[in-house]
Chain A
């Protein structure tokens, strides 16, 4: 389908701004969706994709900007308002009633009535007609949960068609589908597009995005980076837009890779064939003293999965891990901590901070957990540890008694870093430590990482911002589609090399097995 700018957009969002406490989630973003196009919204975690979708579907109220639906200004206070305006959403986790029948789910709230009651016969006939339009022929009396996720998604789409939606938002619809199911779904999507429905598609599978999209819009850090017809965009350009490059004050941090690393002895941690079915193909990873190993890859590439298996946050079902040459058992985080391995999760709120505890309590939590509950860290000792790390990392405000949830993202990240550094680790794994934080805090954290590595700490550093990885790492592990592709020596490597390595034409069959 060719780009036709003459068609008036069904959705025209202009200057959309949404603020969360401490974060500008969307900064003056424009977005236009036209009837009869499949429009992909791309960006890493925290880029603002979900926020933009939630603004469109009425989950979040916008702080600035305007939304025109079919030329008319609209403001959505509730999801029902958006649905009334003809916007339907199908989420990754299907939000239907699993214990009702397929027919009831399709027609819920729109059942034909007769004599004051629901005309069930007509309801199921109607449901079957809508499903039939999508090429689905199943017994509408069967219970929804007895069908596969793929079929449930088609049911959800049918449901959207019952309400005569003109805009269909598909948020990560393919993440739990196999290849055959994806083909069927794409058939339905193309069919709907040809009938004039505007489709907003979100996925982190690049191949699928290029296969289905007419138009691609990229967000990064809450800002619009680019919007162009899919045909005009190469895979490399897209990856570069998503991962971004920043040449500002961060450039002041020296290229850490210039320091040479002694890889003579045993690595601090060495993983061999570490993997888990359906999560990560067996991968190797060595980290030496004083070395920063960067992991580059898109979301879902296996970068987070690899370090979670290494830390024991999830169970590996293959491979072994050696610490300084001797094989150890790392099946729970406690094992990893006993081997002085620290891990800071990418999900700061859900897996990092203890929001309702104070800054001080959060900082000493790691040491306290290691010591056990009987040997409490006394007031004076706690005060000195906390003061030391607040000072060293520049936590602001420097108030140990403040609840950590009231801090900005960057300062929460510093508190987490402090928690781990206080336990004196020999390896620290930082998964997206700079996501969603302001540039000053980013620079602070990167400087600290470089400094710590200089003092001999081994670091695994994951970031969606390739600039950061290239700047900090001595060695870069490249991952895609839950597989390690290879390693790059960070000497003489620039962002373009890494982008090229990630974007290298994907092997179709490699991705098919991924659930």
Chain B
């Protein structure tokens, strides 16, 4: 029992469950799922679908954070991939053809992959601090996206493109399948190969890893490239949802949500040990929190404050020091009350 309680995913899961409980109690329809035309609808289904872009970004962020880094450029890269893809569709004669779709998506993610590799180059080869290195594209990326769209919000009509975020497959949103595929791919690449443990090794002790012969540079570089690639796919999903390439709104502040999701999932910002499952739970927690804010009728003006409060509570509960301090306080209090009881006797 204590073994289960000590598992590092216990608290993230508890936080998510608590959040779902609060929602269900305040509005029982939260967990209800209705079936229409063989497709599932309901708040939970919405969460599964809407969390897809954040899921992709947070998976990449997990790997980057495991190497002791951080990637602030993901939101801007989402804007870039959306701009590239929609500009290609907009300019093609056949916006509904699968070939156009494939070219648009491939071009969009290829560009962000290159940008991710650029981040990796700055960090792994030139040794620039990750926060500064990725800040470059965080700021420049949206400008690049605006350049691509010519300063306008490009809108298109393309049924297959729209399908990606709004369509259904076998009763579930297609975007959810994208999430699942990304989770499985990242988990397999990290955990079925030795990449995961080598990444952790570099994150925990870069110098010892180098002396042990680990290709630290390649591992760090690859992490940023993967983060760029995943942000690219997230950008495709986002633009598919609104069918527009909005260089300013696409993926705005998503880097912060992603970092938060990683931390909620129990991966330390100090790098090292990371948990894909933890990140997945963290993403669902954040997405649930966002819909909770809507459910509870929190006015939009104070919703960031509400979100911040919940985050502070979750992070405090996870903090070793706070937990240790609370435990000591508890022990001191109970010790005193037993002593008082003895004295009273």
Give chain A's interface residues, CB within 8 Å of chain B: 311, 313, 333-334, 337, 343, 345, 350-357, 361, 365-366, 368-377, 419
Contacts and interface: CB of A to CB of B under 8 A. Distances in A.
A122 to B, nearest CB: 40
Interface string B271-314: 01100000000000000000000000000000000000000000
Contact of A376 (B193, B207, B213): B193
Contact of B197 (A311, A333, A345, A368): A368
Contacts of B3: none
B200 interface: yes
A78 B207 CA distance: 31
B204 A355 contact: yes
Given A351-B208, A373-B193, 16 more contacts: A334-B213, A334-B215, A350-B207, A350-B208, A352-B208, A353-B205, A354-B201, A355-B205, A357-B200, A361-B197, A368-B198, A369-B209, A369-B214, A369-B215, A370-B213, A419-B212
Contacts of B27: none
Q: Give the top 10 A-B pairs by smallest Cβ distance, nearest first.
A: A369-B213, A376-B194, A337-B213, A373-B195, A369-B214, A373-B194, A356-B204, A354-B201, A354-B205, A354-B204
Given A354-B201, A373-B198, A374-B193, A333 B208 contact: no
12 contacts: A345-B208, A350-B208, A351-B207, A354-B205, A354-B208, A355-B205, A357-B197, A370-B213, A372-B215, A373-B194, A374-B193, A375-B193
B345 interface: no
B210 interface: yes
A374 B192 CA distance: 9
A351 B213 CA distance: 12
B3 to A, nearest CB: 13
Number of contact residues on B: which range applies? 20 to 34
Given A355-B204, A356-B273, A357-B201, A368 B211 contact: no
Interface in B194-245: 194-195, 197-198, 200-201, 204-205, 207-215, 219
B204 A357 contact: yes
B269 to A, nearest CB: 14
A257 B109 CA distance: 64
Contact of B212 (A356, A369, A372, A376): A369
Contacts of B201: 354, 357, 361, 365
A366 to B, nearest CB: 5
A313 to B, nearest CB: 6
A368 B208 CA distance: 14
A411 B194 CA distance: 25
Contacts of B204: 354-357
Nearest to A358: B197
A370 B210 CA distance: 12
A375 B212 CA distance: 17
Contacts of A350: 205, 207-208
Please report whether the interface of chain B is mostly helix, strand, loop or mixed according to DSSP. Answer: helix
B211 A376 contact: no
Contacts of A370: 213
Contacts of B194: 368, 371-377
A361 B200 CA distance: 11
Q: Which of A351, A353, A373, A419 has most B Cβ within 10 Å?
A: A373
A365 B200 contact: no
Nearest to B219: A373
Q: Which of A311, A333, A356, A366 has most B Cβ within 10 Å?
A: A356
A10 to B, nearest CB: 38
B189 to A, nearest CB: 9
B205 A333 contact: no
Interface string B86-113: 0000000000000000000000000000
Contacts of B192: 376
A296 B193 CA distance: 43
Contacts of A376: 192-194
Contacts of A355: 204-205
A71 B84 CA distance: 77
Q: Which of B192, B198, B211 has most A Cβ within 10 Å?
A: B211
Given A353-B205, A354-B205, A355-B205, A343 B211 contact: yes
Contacts of A375: 193-194
A334 B219 CA distance: 14
Interface in B131-145: none
Contacts of A351: 205, 207-208, 211
A499 to B, nearest CB: 31
Contacts of B215: 334, 369, 372
Nearest to B201: A354
A370 B213 CA distance: 7
B77 to A, nearest CB: 25
Nearest to B191: A376
Contacts of A377: 194
Contacts of B273: 356
Given A357-B201, A373-B194, A374-B193, A365 B214 contact: yes
A402 to B, nearest CB: 15
Given A350-B207, A356-B204, A376-B192, A366 B213 contact: yes
A375 B209 CA distance: 18
A361 B191 CA distance: 13
Nearest to A345: B211
A319 B211 CA distance: 21
B226 to A, nearest CB: 13
B87 to A, nearest CB: 36
A357 B210 CA distance: 15
